[in-house]
């Protein structure tokens, strides 16, 4: 049976490629999903790729993933800075979690954007490498999954 990995995306990422392309680039979320599917397929993983603008939906997906998933790659987007319920759901997960941000949140215009409350619950963070950060995060999860086989 293939191990399942979740790639979860928060608010406004459905508009990736259209929203502030000077910050987030021109690739769409469909492009990101296609790149992630290649990594998952090459590593014998099943991919659940999802996006939501609703906090409760992200929490439900984390509850679904918390037991048995090989790992989670999450771009919490605007949830990064304030969503204690998502943080609490992440803390319940028993798998590796990689937090991904397309832009370098530490170089953004507003000081509050430089602080992720999610970091206390994740294995690691990739920030500022564009959408390639998703691929790198997924490759790390695949590497960890192979170590526990």
Task: Give the Cβ contact number of residue 37 at 10 Å.
Answer: 15
CA–CA dist 91, 37 (Å, integer): 26
CA–CA dist 133, 139 (Å, integer): 10
pLDDT higher than threshold 80 for residue 3: yes
Output the pLDDT for position 139: 98
Output the pLDDT for position 48: 98
- Known catalytic residues? 24, 101
Average pLDDT, the chain: 93
| Parent domain of 116 | 3-147
pLDDT higher than threshold 80 for residue 112: no
Picking from 46-60, 78-92, 110-124, which range would have the lowest pLDDT averaged per residue? 110-124
pLDDT higher than threshold 70 for residue 94: yes
Number of domains, the chain: 1
Q: Please give the model's pTM, rounded to 2 decimal places.
A: 0.94
pLDDT higher than threshold 90 for residue 30: yes
Output the pLDDT for position 115: 75
For position 56, which CATH number holds?
3.40.50.9100
Output the pLDDT for position 105: 83
pLDDT, greater one: 22 or 4: 4
Contact 98, 74 (CB under 8 A): yes
pLDDT, greater one: 113 or 41: 41
| Gyration radius (Cα) of the chain, Å | 14
């Amino acid at each position: 049976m293939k191990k399942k990995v979740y790639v979860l995306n928060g608010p406004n990422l459905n508009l990736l490629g259209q929203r502030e392309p000077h910050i987030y680039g021109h690739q769409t979320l469909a492009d990101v999903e296609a790149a992630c599917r290649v990594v998952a397929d090459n590593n014998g993983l099943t991919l659940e790729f999802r996006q939501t603008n609703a906090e409760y939906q992200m929490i439900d997906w984390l509850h679904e993933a918390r037991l048995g998933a090989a790992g989670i790659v999450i771009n919490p987007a605007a949830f990064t800075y304030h969503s204690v319920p998502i943080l609490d759901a992440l803390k319940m997960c028993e798998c590796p979690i990689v937090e991904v941000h397309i832009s370098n949140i530490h170089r953004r215009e507003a000081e509050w954007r430089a602080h992720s409350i999610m970091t206390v619950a994740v294995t690691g963070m990739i920030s500022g490498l564009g959408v390639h950060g998703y691929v790198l995060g997924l490759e790390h999860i695949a590497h960890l999954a192979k170590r526990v086989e």
